[in-house]
Amino acid sequence: MPNISRDEVAHLARLARLAVTDEELNTFAGQLDQILDAVAKVGEVANSDIPPTSHAVPLTNVFREDVVRPGLTQEQALSGAPAAEEGRFRVPQILGDEQ
């Protein structure tokens, strides 16, 4: 059964550059203990006979055929544009010259 100490919590807090109070050290030690217990229980259940899964039920993707269809010409695409320039949509500048 995992048992994390206040010193270990303080060390982790220093590594993470977190400022924690003495009261928080006690709270976090208890919470981390519970987390480590839960992970240990999952580890006990995990077995090499059980294949890893990403879903509880098997899934099969259904794909449609990839069929090439005719698209718009450049002129057709630009025909409804409020402004076009050099064969492209013209839009208002939103950023300055600096990049």
Please give the model's pTM, rounded to 2 decimal places: 0.45
Which residues have CB under 8 Å from 90's CB, separation 6+?
A: 81, 83, 84
pLDDT in tens, 30-53: 999 999 888 888 877 767 777 777
pLDDT of the residue at 24: 93
pLDDT in tens, 63-88: 889 999 999 999 999 999 999 999 99
pLDDT of the residue at 1: 52
First to last CA, the chain: 56
Q: How far apart are CA 46 and CA 99, in angstroms?
A: 52
CA 15 and chain centroid, separation? 23
> All domains of the chain, ordered by start, with CATH?
6-45 (1.10.20)
